[in-house]
């Protein structure tokens, strides 16, 4: 819509609004990652912020938005003559999930290169976003190498392009905002750390607040311009406050006492590296400027910690988000009072609530804070009575998982066409360029250097003697790229009575958690099928959220007979449906069982026939043998043979074991 929803009309979401405004005051904070369930106004808030950003003066004709008062001396369009400039609104540039690297950082202007024979640079989205907002919706679905590029640019304030004979550096300072739904998968910890702040958002559970959200949204949809006009005064007040805070920011004093509190807090919560300390310092300074003060106080440090530290404490997707606020307060109290500015006793230590209300400038007094996005705790495993004898029909309380460990690599061999991942080599549209070839069908990725080399020897014959290049269709070359193919790791877990001894099931859950962690690191989708009693269930349909799989695993009930055939058939059906949805994704089936089959008529024969379906289709598989005790029947090994895969014991699954050296899950099967 041409009229954005007013920022000050947002209901609740105080942390989200505050984090966005702090980045508007000081882009050096490093951007904000907004995590939350669908329908929580994440995108609405970001688009609303763009209307609050003050106008910027730019050098006329500069494609890189240079400031006329201090133009970039290295601007590719420079040097700029003084005088000519224009004012325009700050841009909000959206980076689509399917964007290419060329579109993000820019590339050689092919038209000018071929027509004029010159190396000219065509700017990308990073240049467009300079001095504005770069918004990445569903940033967790963006290819990792693109996330690396944009976060590097955000951290350095510049983009460096070295490709196709072009060497360009240009300024790229922008407010970076990423939004994501954790149910669709997590960002790797290394990428999480590159975002300055993070905010968890969730829909309010207060009926009155939800009513107000619906009322305002309906009013906006009926008359966007009229609705925006009713909030114009509040919008103008917040816009003016952003300008005032920017002007005050250089005068804000960050004393040694506040710095000690920041350092002590980062050390107490054991965050890695020094980026957290720097981000907290910048955030606390911006908070003071937003409140109209020139000194950083203890409450600024506390608020900065709540925004800058939670995502840096998550070293894997199974770590609970958030901070222990009691521990935070104890740390601040222990290291406070050594500098004085936060303890001046003037009785006015509360942050300025902003024009008309909360920290985001909310004018409505009845906007209560939103509920905690992570209030729903993970279910704890029960501590119920004695373990049931093997094969019993009763149900036990779920056993807690053993600690995850680093697993051996379970790879899917072959080179196919698929989405970029990290488990299987693949020919993809993204990834590193490995060569060039003649296009088969439509040309999608031009390999410029190979095209020029193919055309160059024929220029005289084509009557070309001056600058430029005559290129014909036969000269065109397609870039060959190789990345890593996305995989679907489907866990088929035996939860029957034969697996139900508490110590044994704990080890099994620890092994599956370890494999889930491996899948997370390799950007795989995961699914979970369990079988027990008389049937098999899809505990988790294929998803990119491995922490959702971990939650389901922790609460997994056990007991009953072992319907192995039902589990395999249900897994086969899940793969069939997923193949229709995403035929390029390679499946890897991980069956966690002791190999027993006791459920239903002719259980062993049915399980054998079900296993042979996977072998006939060439599905990569591995059986994690959970059989224990001095006498072993070797049933899991037999199942692996029928599946056409291999079997590993729980001990062999560990990467540091002798038997756990890299071993292809398909053994002697040739790469597809």
* Residues with a known catalytic role: 275
Let me know: does 477 contact 438? Beta carbons within 8 Å.
yes
Residue 417: strand pairing partners: 427
Element holding 565 (H helix, E strand):
helix 564-581
Name the 3-class secondary structure at 598. Answer: coil
Give which of 607, 603, 599 is closest to 561, Cα–Cα.
Answer: 599
Element holding 23 (H helix, E strand):
helix 14-25
Residue 108: strand pairing partners: 121
Element holding 601 (H helix, E strand):
none
Tell me how far apart the alpha carbons of residues 639 and 297 are, in angstroms, rounded to a whole number. 65
Strand residue runs (E) in 298-360: none
Strand residue runs (E) in 522-608: 525-532, 535-543, 586-593
Give which of 189, 157, 192, 159 is closest to 178, Cα–Cα.
Answer: 192
Q: How many CB atoms lie within 10 A of CB 267?
A: 13
As a whole number of angstroms, the longest Cα–Cα distance in the chain is 90
Let me know: does 125 contact 114? Beta carbons within 8 Å.
no
Strands 525-532 and 535-543: antiparallel
Tell me how far apart the alpha carbons of residues 4 and 481 are, in angstroms, rounded to a whole number. 40
For 623, half-sphere exposure in the C-beta direction (CA atoms, 13 angstrom radius) is: 26
φ/ψ (deg, to 5) at 542: -50, 130
**Would you state the structure tokens that stand for residue 467, as one six-digit string?**
């600058």
**Would you state the structure tokens that stand for residue 583, as one six-digit string?**
């035929």
Burial (CB count within 10 angstroms: exposed 0-12, middle 13-18, buried 19+), residue 497? buried
Tell me how far apart the alpha carbons of residues 187 and 547 are, in angstroms, rounded to a whole number. 12
Strands 166-171 and 158-163: antiparallel
The 3-state DSSP composition of the chain as helix, strand, coil percent (nearest 5) reads 40, 20, 45
């Amino acid at each position: 819509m041409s009229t954005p929803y007013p920022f000050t009309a947002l209901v609740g979401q105080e942390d989200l609004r505050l984090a966005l405004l702090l980045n508007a005051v000081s882009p050096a904070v490093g951007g904000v990652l907004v995590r939350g369930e669908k329908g929580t106004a994440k995108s609405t808030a970001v688009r609303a912020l763009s209307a609050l950003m003050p106008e910027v003066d730019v050098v006329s004709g500069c494609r890189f938005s240079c400031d006329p008062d201090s133009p970039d001396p290295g601007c590719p369009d420079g040097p700029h003559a003084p005088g000519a400039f224009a004012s325009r609104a700050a841009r909000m540039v959206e980076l689509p999930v399917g964007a290419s690297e060329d579109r993000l950082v820019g590339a050689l202007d092919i038209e000018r290169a071929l027509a004029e024979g010159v190396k000219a640079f065509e700017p990308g989205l990073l240049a467009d976003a300079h001095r504005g907002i770069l918004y990445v919706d569903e940033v967790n679905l963006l290819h990792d190498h693109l996330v690396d590029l944009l976060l590097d640019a955000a951290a350095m304030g510049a983009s460096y392009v070295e490709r196709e004979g072009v060497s360009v550096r240009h300024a790229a300072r922008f407010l970076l905002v990423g939004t994501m739904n954790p149910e669709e998968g997590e960002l790797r910890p290394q990428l999480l750390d590159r975002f300055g702040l993070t905010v968890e958002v969730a829909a309010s559970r207060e009926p009155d607040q939800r009513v107000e959200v619906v009322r305002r949204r309906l009013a906006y949809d009926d008359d966007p311009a009229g609705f925006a006009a009713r909030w114009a005064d509040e919008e103008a007040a917040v816009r003016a406050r952003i300008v005032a805070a920017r002007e005050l920011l250089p005068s804000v004093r960050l004393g040694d006492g506040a710095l000690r509190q920041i350092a002590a807090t980062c050390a107490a919560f054991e965050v890695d590296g020094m980026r957290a300390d720097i981000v907290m310092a910048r955030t606390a300074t911006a908070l003071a400027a937003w409140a109209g003060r020139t000194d950083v106080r203890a409450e600024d440090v506390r608020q900065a910690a709540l925004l800058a530290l939670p995502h840096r404490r998550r070293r894997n997707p199974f770590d609970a988000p958030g901070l222990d606020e009691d521990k935070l307060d104890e740390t601040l109290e222990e290291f406070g009072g050594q500098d004085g500015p936060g303890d001046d006793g003037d009785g006015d230590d509360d942050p300025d609530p902003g024009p008309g209300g909360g920290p985001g400038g909310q004018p409505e007094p009845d906007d209560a804070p939103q509920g905690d996005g992570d209030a729903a705790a993970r279910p704890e495993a029960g501590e119920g009575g004695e373990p049931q004898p093997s094969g019993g029909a009763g149900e036990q309380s779920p056993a807690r998982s053993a600690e995850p460990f680093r697993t051996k690599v379970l790879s899917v061999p072959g080179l196919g066409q698929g989405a970029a991942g990290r488990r299987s080599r693949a020919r993809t549209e993204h990834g590193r360029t490995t060569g060039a070839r003649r296009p088969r069908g439509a040309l999608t990725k031009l390999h410029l250097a190979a095209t020029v080399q193919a055309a160059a020897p024929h220029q005289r014959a084509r009557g070309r003697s001056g600058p430029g290049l005559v290129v014909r269709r036969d000269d065109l070359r397609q870039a060959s790229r190789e990345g890593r193919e996305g995989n679907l790791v489907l866990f088929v877990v035996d939860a029957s009575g034969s697996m139900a001894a508490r110590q044994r099931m704990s080890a099994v859950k620890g092994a599956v958690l370890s494999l889930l962690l491996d899948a997370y690191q390799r950007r795989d989708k995961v699914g979970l099928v369990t079988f027990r009693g008389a049937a098999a269930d899809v505990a988790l349909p294929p998803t990119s959220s491995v922490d959702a799989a971990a939650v389901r695993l922790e609460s997994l009930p056990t007991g009953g007979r072992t319907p192995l055939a039902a589990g395999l058939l249900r897994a086969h059906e899940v793969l069939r449906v997923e193949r229709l949805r995403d035929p390029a994704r390679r499946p890897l089936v991980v069956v966690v069982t002791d190999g027993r089959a006791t459920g239903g008529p002719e259980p062993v024969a049915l399980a054998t026939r079900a296993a042979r379906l996977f072998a006939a289709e060439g599905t990569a598989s591995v059986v994690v043998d959970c059989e224990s005790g001095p006498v072993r029947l070797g049933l899991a090994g037999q199942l692996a043979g029928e599946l056409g895969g291999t079997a590993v014991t729980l001990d062999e699954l560990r990467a540091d074991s002798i038997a756990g050296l890299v071993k292809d899950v398909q053994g002697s099967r040739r790469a597809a």
